[in-house]
Structure 1
Amino acid sequence: MKKITLTLILSFFTAIGISCVAQNASPFQVTVTGKGKQAILFIPGYSCSGDVWKETIQQLGPNYTSHVFTFAGFAGITPQANPSLNEWVQAIGHYIQTQKLNKPIVVGHSLGGVAAMWLASEYPDKIGKLIVVDALPCLTAIYNSNFQSQATPDCSAFIQQFEKMDPQTFKTTQYTAMRSMVADTSKLETVVQWSLKSDKATLGKIYCDFSNTDMREKIAAITCPSLILLEASFKAYQDTMNSQYKNLKTARIEYSTKGLHFIMYDDKDWYYNQLRTFLSQGNF
């Protein structure tokens, strides 16, 4: 497949009314592969490269054109001065419009899954199908039942926490975190390296944004067919999962059979079967 890498500098002033905070800073890099009639947008998770979707794209075959995102500041991509999860989502919406994509399928993992839900709720008439891989509308509410999202959270403490880490502490922290998320040891080094190549200020700011995000009410606006793939351990808490997704009326929730957070690596056969079945069903 021919690969075309596009670095997009979006004009927020004229297109969506958001001031671009750093000259020549792009909210993401996109790699477009394939020539299929149906477009699919792949959004990776926190600190990850769009390469996390490489095997998925290969498995889905030639009937799709894949638009694979990597966010600014993640996995070695040039960071923005003041990144914002909200601006990233709006920028993807603008990308769909400027590229004239007709009812694309949107697939997101983890943070990317939250971004995908956000996108589908903001642009319900623009999205054909939604696939969320191990993400919840409000992860923070799982740990804090009284959580309420803040309009303008102070993220300075998160940013400082990352920026003050010496290289060895940062490396140790990332290995520890990823071992709890990736069961496939052959993928561990790859995932860790993406994190180590990420900009620390971006990690702090986007972690803050992510922790402050609550999509539980907003997902009611999503109208497209939606497949929610959750890790095996979540099956023990189905009532909580159903509560998180109760406002997404189009959702079908499925639980993986093994592995951890990176379902596309840890439970491949089940994961690919779920995608193929869902994509072959129904109309857009």
Structure 2
Amino acid sequence: VIGTGKPVILIPGLASPRAAWDGVAPELAKGHSVYLVQVNGFAGDDPRANLKPGLLNGVVADLATLIASRKLQAPAVVGHSMGGLVGLMLAARHPDSVGRLMVVDALPYFAVLMAPPGTAVTVESVTPRAAQMRDMVAASYGKAPSREAAEAQVATLTRKPEARARATEWAMAADPRVVAQALYEDLTTDMRGELKAIRTPVTLVYAWNERYPRKDPADAFFRAQFTGLANAEFVGIGDSAHFVMLDQPEAFRSALTAFLAK
């Protein structure tokens, strides 16, 4: 926890440490109590319980316990990628715990990206492939991390070479067993039917650029995925990829400032 003031909880994405928020956390801490979430195993630390199924539910439960035990009043929750899914789970299943939610380049069901255009995807249909991906990632445990593989993994996730270098280091430091389990659960957790349970205001920040995804398709796609939300605002940030806060730090800070000022 850094700073003092109204609480803000920052949740990183798959294989990312709390350092993913370094571009905004120090400034935020000048007027807020900033809770920087670290998912055990994502930064080379002890995986603890995260080697077992139920990783995402465990993170959600830990956050709900934190909010209750610290008596945090309507905290703002910000989650990137998998952290955005965790934020949706927290807001839907513990509605009194979250004051407002920002979801950064994440979907209520990540696996829709694996479906051919025009086809539906369900947890049942994607589970076998998700299990294969989990087992393949986990199999690299105990082997020397491959920089080449890590670079390939993050190549399309950010547009800046310096950000790509940071994300590569994060990918290499993460325990592949934890990444594998988190990826599997990310692909098999469908929150679309629970969006209507979210009462808090939600801001959806998403990336677009001149190649993929382009602005108009990205606008339409994200609105279609979040149709169940009662109170949603959509903020597209251009010339960026998945790590929006690394590619366009000024635009992201502006979006975050506006979100917290509501």
Residue equivalent to 2:3: 34
TM-score (norm 2): 0.88
**What is the Cα deviation at residue 162 of structure 1?**
1.8
CA distance in 1, matches of 2:132, 2:187: 13
| 1:236 equivalenced with 2:216 (yes/no) | yes
SS in 2 for 1:247: coil
Distance 1:125-1:62 versus aligned 2 partners, 3 A rule: same
Q: Is the 8 Å Cα contact of residues 75 and 193 (structure 1) preserved in structure 2?
A: no
Q: How does 1:12-51 map to 2 (within 5 A)?
A: 32-36=1-5, 38-51=6-19
CA distance in 2, matches of 1:169, 1:104: 37
5+ residue gaps, structure 2: none
Q: Is the 8 Å Cα contact of residues 234 and 255 (structure 1) preserved in structure 2?
A: no
CA distance in 2, matches of 1:135, 1:176: 20
SS in 2 for 1:210: helix
CA distance in 1, matches of 2:247, 2:27: 15
Residue equivalent to 1:221: 197
CA distance in 2, matches of 1:198, 1:117: 24
| 1:267 equivalenced with 2:248 (yes/no) | yes
| 1:78 equivalenced with 2:46 (yes/no) | yes
SS in 2 for 1:131: strand
Residue equivalent to 2:232: 251
Residue equivalent to 2:171: 195
**What is the Cα deviation at residue 136 of structure 1?**
0.9
Higher share in helix: 2
Residue equivalent to 1:91: 62
Query: Which shows bigger deviation, 237-246 or 66-75?
Result: 237-246
Residue equivalent to 1:6: none
Distance 1:231-1:44 versus aligned 2 partners, 3 A rule: same
Q: Percent identity?
A: 24
TM-score (norm 1): 0.81
Larger relative contact order, structure 1 or 2 (CA cutoff 8 Å, min sep 6) = 2
How many residues are paired up? 249
Letter of the 2:19 counterpart: D
SS in 2 for 1:230: strand
Residue equivalent to 1:138: 109
SS in 1 for 2:240: coil
Residue 24 of structure 2, aligned match among 42, 52, 56: 56
Letter of the 2:179 counterpart: L
RMSD across aligned positions (CA) = 2.2
